[in-house]
Chain A
Amino acid sequence: MAGQGTTTDAAPADTGRHAYLKNGEARRPRIGPGLRTFLIFAVLVGLGALIFPSSYFYRVGTLVWINTLAVTGIVVLLGYVGLVSLGHAGFFAIGAYATAILPSYGIPSPLAMLAGVGMAGGLALIVGRPILKLSGYYLAIATLGLGMLIWMVLSKEAWLTGGPDGMVVSGMNARNLFKLVGLKLKSAEAWYWVAGFAAATGAAIAVNLARSPSGRALRAIHDSDVAARSLGVDVARAKSRAFVISAIYAAVAGALLALANGYITPETGGFMHSVEMVTMAVLGGATSVFGALVGALILTALPQVLTVFADYEHMVLGGIMVVTMIAMRRGLVPFIADLWNRRKS
C-alpha cells in the first residue's frame, strides 16, 4: 500500500523546504513549517466559508474537516511509520461515545471529550505494545480485530450506548463559543469553524512531528527497521508513540463528530469506517497531511455529489479509486507534487 512511496512526508511543504536549502541558508522562510501548514489550512477553511451558500454545505464541510483530522492520524501511522491499522474507527468511536455518554452522568462536554481522548490514547498504549510487534498484514488483521471488539461492545451494550440505533448527543453547541466573543453564527457554521480549526491544528502538529527528531526516527522505521535500530532508535517505543498519537487524532475527530451531528451510531466504529479512513489516506497520499485533506475531501464530498446518480454512486467511487491506485500509486498529492517538481527542474 502506501508503505512503498518514495517521497518524504508533507509533499508540497517539503519541496518548499528543499528549495530554500538549495539556494543556501540565506533564504530561510520567516515562519516554521507547522505554522505555514496551519495558515494554508486556515485559508482553505475560510475559502469554504466564503463560497458556501447554505447550511447543508457547512455540514458537509464540517465532515470534510473532521475526516481530515482523523485521516491525519492515519498519515502519522501509515505514511510516516508504515503501519497499517484497520481498527482506527474503534478509537474514533471511543471519542464519540465518551462525548455522548458522559454528559448524562453530569460531566460537562469538554471534559467528556478529554476523557474520551484519554481513553482512546490509553487503550492504544496498552494494546499497542503487544500488537505492534506484528507488521504488515498481520498487524492489519490484529487491529481489525480490535476495531471489531469495540464495535461489538458499542452495538450490544444498549443500556449504555443505545445499541444499534445509536444515541442522541446532548450538551455543548459551538455557537455558544462564538457568542462569547460576540459572534452570532448558525450552529452548522459554528461547527464548521471549530472542525476547520481542529483540522488545521492537527495538520500543523503532524508536520512539526515529521520535521522533528522524533519524526525522523519514525520515518527511519518506515524505510528500514534494522537501520533505525542500529542508530539507537527504540523501535518498539517509537511505534507505540505513533500508535497512541494516531488514536488520539481519531478520538478527537470522533468527539467532534458526535457534538457536531448531535447523534451517533455504532457504525462510526464499524469496519467500513476504518477502511474508509485508510482509503482516504491512500487516495490522497499517505505521506502528506495535504494528502489527508484531499482524500477526505474527495471521499466525503463526492458521495454527496453522486447522490444524483443514486444507483451508480458506489460504482463511480470504486472506479475512481481503482484508477487512482493504478495510475498514481502513491496517492494524488505526491503524484501532483512530483509533476510540479519535474516541470520546475
Chain B
Amino acid sequence: MSLEIDGIGIAFGGIKAVDDVSFTAKPGEVTSIIGPNGAGKTTLFNLVSGVYTASAGRVRIDGQDVTGLPAHALARRGMARTFQNLQVFPQMSALDNVMTGCHMQEKSNLLADLLGLGSARRETQKSRASAMAALARAGLAELAHRPASEMSYGQLKRLEIARALVTGCTILLLDEPAAGCNAVETREVDDLIHAIAAEGKTVVLIEHDMRMVMRISSHIVVLDQGRKIAEGGPEEIRQNPHVIAAYLGAHGAAEAEAAAHA
C-alpha cells in the first residue's frame, strides 16, 4: 500500500519540528529520509505512526485518510515500525518479543486465555512458529531464547525488525536499522530491507549510513530543520548542491560517491 504524506507538520513550544513535509512512499520501494541530526526525521516517523498528533497536514494510506488515528489503529491498517531509541521488551526473551508482534493475528478471547483453553494454546503455537520464522529471517534464530536484555545493540535493532515484520505489515517504517551494526551486520540488514521491499511492502527508512541509503533507496527525501529541502532518486540527491551543503558535506558526498562506484 502506498503511504502519502501531505503537508504534515507539528510544533513544540513554537518551534516547528516538522513543517509542511510531503512525499509519497510507494509499495515495493525503499523511500529514505535523510538529514542532519535534529532535522525532524524521527519526529516525522512519530507523526506518521500516531505517536504524536499532527497539527497540520494529512496522512493517507492508499488514498484513505488516516490522520490522527491512534497508533494501534494504524497498526491494524498495516503500518509497523521500529524505533531509533530501541523499544524492545527487555523482560521477555527474543522469541516472546517477536511473538508479541503477532498480537493482531491472534484470535483467542480473554476467557480462553485465562482458562488456558486449547484455542489460546493453539494461537500461541501459531505465533511461536511465525515468530521463529521471522527471527530466522533477521538472523537471530539461535538467540530465540536469550532474554532481550542480554542482546547487543545491533541484535536488538534486528529484533525490532523481526517483531515489526511478523505483524503482517504492508508499510514498514525503519528508524536507523543499521545503527550499532558492524559492516557485516549492516550488509545483512541491507539485504533484509531489500528483500522486504521486493515482497511489495512499502519501506520508509531513516538512516545515517550513506552507503546503505544510496545502495537500497529508490527515492530519497532530505530534511533540514524540519523542512524538506530536496527529494529525488539517489543520483539526483548525491549531486544536489543544497543537500551537500546541509548534510552530505565533503565526507558524505565522497562516501555516497564510493557507494555509487562500489
Q: Are A211 and B124 in contact (CB under 8 A)?
A: yes
Give, as a whole number of angstroms, the nearest-CB distance from A81 to chain B. Answer: 12
Alpha-carbon gap, A236 to B80, bound state (A): 19
Cβ contact of B104, chosen from A220, A226, A231, A287, cutoff 8 A? A231
Q: Are A213 and B103 in contact (CB under 8 A)?
A: yes
Give, as a whole number of angstroms, the nearest-CB distance from A5 to chain B. Answer: 7
Most buried by A among B51, B80, B104, B110: B110
A212 in contact with B147 given A226-B87, A233-B72 (CB within 8 Å): no
Q: Which residues of B contact A212 (CB under 8 A)?
A: 108, 112-114, 116, 120, 123-124
Q: Which residues of B contact A32 (CB under 8 A)?
A: 116, 121
Cβ contact of A34, chosen from B89, B92, B96, B116, cutoff 8 A? B116
Alpha-carbon gap, A219 to B147, bound state (A): 14
Give, as a whole number of angstroms, the nearest-CB distance from A123 to chain B. Answer: 19
Q: Are A213 and B120 in contact (CB under 8 A)?
A: yes
Total A-B residue contacts, Cβ distance less than 8 Å:
130
Alpha-carbon gap, A52 to B120, bound state (A): 39
Alpha-carbon gap, A235 to B75, bound state (A): 13
Q: Are A229 and B75 in contact (CB under 8 A)?
A: yes
Q: Are B124 and A217 in contact (CB under 8 A)?
A: no
Chain B 65-105, CB within 8 Å of chain A: the 1/0 string? 00000111001100011010001111111001001111110
Q: Are B149 and A6 in contact (CB under 8 A)?
A: yes
Q: Which residues of A contact B88 (CB under 8 A)?
A: 223-224, 227
Alpha-carbon gap, A217 to B104, bound state (A): 10
Chain B 20-63, CB within 8 Å of chain A: the 1/0 string? 00000000000000000000000000000111000000000000
Give, as a whole number of angstroms, the nearest-CB distance from A178 to chain B. Answer: 25
Of the stretches A102-110, A135-143, A202-210, A291-299, the one at the interface is A202-210
The residue of chain B having its C-beta at the shortest distance from the C-beta of A287 within the complex is B91
Q: Which residues of A contact B89 (CB under 8 A)?
A: 219-220, 222-224, 227
Give, as a whole number of angstroms, the nearest-CB distance from A211 to chain B. Answer: 7
Interface residues of A in 29-67 (CB under 8 A from B): 32-35
Alpha-carbon gap, A209 to B124, bound state (A): 12
Q: Are B72 and A227 in contact (CB under 8 A)?
A: no
Tell yes or no: A216 within 8 A of B by CB.
yes
Alpha-carbon gap, A107 to B60, bound state (A): 57
Classify the secondary structure of A's interface with B: helix
Tell yes or no: A228 within 8 A of B by CB.
yes
Tell yes or no: A345 within 8 A of B by CB.
no
Q: Are A8 and B92 in contact (CB under 8 A)?
A: yes
Chain A 168-207, CB within 8 Å of chain B: the 1/0 string? 0000000000000000000000000000000000001100
The residue of chain A having its C-beta at the shortest distance from the C-beta of B115 within the complex is A208
Chain B 124-143, CB within 8 Å of chain A: the 1/0 string? 10010000000000000000
Interface size on B, residues (CB 8 A): 44
Tell yes or no: B163 within 8 A of A by CB.
yes
A204 in contact with B80 given A8-B92, A223-B90 (CB within 8 Å): no
Q: Are A216 and B93 in contact (CB under 8 A)?
A: no
Cβ contact of A213, chosen from B90, B123, B145, B167, cutoff 8 A? B123
Cβ contact of A233, chosen from B49, B103, B163, cutoff 8 A? B103
Q: Which residues of A contact B114 (CB under 8 A)?
A: 205, 208-209, 212, 214, 245
Q: Are A213 and B70 in contact (CB under 8 A)?
A: no
Alpha-carbon gap, A204 to B115, bound state (A): 8
Tell yes or no: A22 within 8 A of B by CB.
yes
Q: Are A226 and B120 in contact (CB under 8 A)?
A: no
Q: Are A209 and B101 in contact (CB under 8 A)?
A: no
The residue of chain A having its C-beta at the shortest distance from the C-beta of B108 within the complex is A213
Most buried by A among B50, B83, B100: B100
Q: Are A222 and B91 in contact (CB under 8 A)?
A: yes
Q: Which residues of A contact B164 (CB under 8 A)?
A: 230
The residue of chain B having its C-beta at the shortest distance from the C-beta of A229 within the complex is B71
A230 in contact with B75 given A18-B145, A209-B113 (CB within 8 Å): yes
The residue of chain A having its C-beta at the shortest distance from the C-beta of B112 within the complex is A212
Q: Are A216 and B103 in contact (CB under 8 A)?
A: yes
Q: Are A231 and B92 in contact (CB under 8 A)?
A: no
Give, as a whole number of angstroms, the nearest-CB distance from A197 to chain B. Answer: 16
The residue of chain B having its C-beta at the shortest distance from the C-beta of A220 within the complex is B100
Tell yes or no: A306 within 8 A of B by CB.
no
Give, as a whole number of angstroms, the nearest-CB distance from A36 to chain B. Answer: 10
Tell yes or no: B6 within 8 A of A by CB.
no
- Give me 6 other A-B pairs in contact (C-beta within 8 A), A21-B145, A34-B116, A208-B115 excluded: A22-B145, A212-B108, A212-B116, A217-B100, A227-B88, A228-B100
- A–B Cβ pairs within 8 angstroms, 6 of them: A6-B91, A8-B96, A32-B116, A214-B114, A222-B89, A224-B89
